[in-house]
Amino acid sequence: MDTSQDLAPHPVTNDTIATATETRTVHRCEKLKRDGTVCGFYVGTVFYDGGWACAHHRPRNKPKDPNTPRRLPKAPVTDLKEPADAVRLAAWAAIQSARGRLPKQYASAVLDACREFRAGWALAQDTQAADELIKATCDYWKALQLGDDRAAQAAQRTALDAIGELLGHRPEASTTPGPGYELGEKDPVWGERLA
């Protein structure tokens, strides 16, 4: 038996598709594309609403599920650069969660990230104040060793401001020395007299 003739493809027309084992009748999609031409796609066509339609031109069979999550609201802040940004984002997440627009897990993650950012920001500020205190203290002792009283006073004032920042006091910058900073008076920090 000669099998080469059985496996030979059949001639293809617009209405049939030949395979190695059988021939099927196909129907091309009769729906119009956006440019006004007939689609003509033949894969997966079904008779729908009085005409043949491919998967692209027939309505979806899936009804909308009421439990499908909605699109999440857009956050007001995309980058955390200052503590005010973190506060704004945390307030937004709390409000959206309370209104039921943001899942509680998402809101909790946002709040935790904002809390961590604010803690890191405070630590960075404290580290900067500590660095300023160390530098000002070194400048103070160098100025005392060199006998430069004005430089010692300026370094002492800078050191006191850094200490105030570390303790949470944010004094306004002052260019004039306060009481206890005059030459010949007792130094309020170190207890020695300035010459």
From residue 27, how far is each of 1, 20, 100 by CA, in Å?
35, 20, 49
Amino acid identity of residue 130, one-letter, is A
- For 28, half-sphere exposure in the C-beta direction (CA atoms, 13 angstrom radius) is 12
Structure token digits, residue 128:
């900067």
Contact between 135 and 113 (Cβ < 8 Å): no
Model pLDDT, residue 18: 62
* Span 46-83, pLDDT tens digits: 888 888 888 888 777 666 666 766 677 888 888 888 88
pLDDT value for 186: 53
Are 133 and 160 within 8 A, CB to CB?
Answer: no
Among 54-58, 86-90, 149-153, 162-166, the minimum mean pLDDT is found in 162-166
Q: In angstroms, rounded to a whole number, what is the distance separating the alpha carbons of residues 95 and 3?
A: 75
Mean predicted confidence (pLDDT) in 84-97 = 91
Residue with tokens 């007939």: 38
- Residue 178: pLDDT over 60: no
Question: Residue 42: which pLDDT band, with cuts at 50, 70 and 90?
Answer: confident
pLDDT band at 172 (very low <50, low <70, confident <90, very high): low
pLDDT band of 10, cuts 50, 70, 90: very low
Name the average pLDDT for the chain: 76
Model pTM score? 0.41
Structure letter (DSSP) for residue 71: P
Give, in degrees to the nearest 5, the angle at Cα 49 between 44 and 50.
95
Rounded CA gap, 102 and 104, in Å? 6
- Cα–Cα distance between 87 and 102 in angstroms, integer? 17
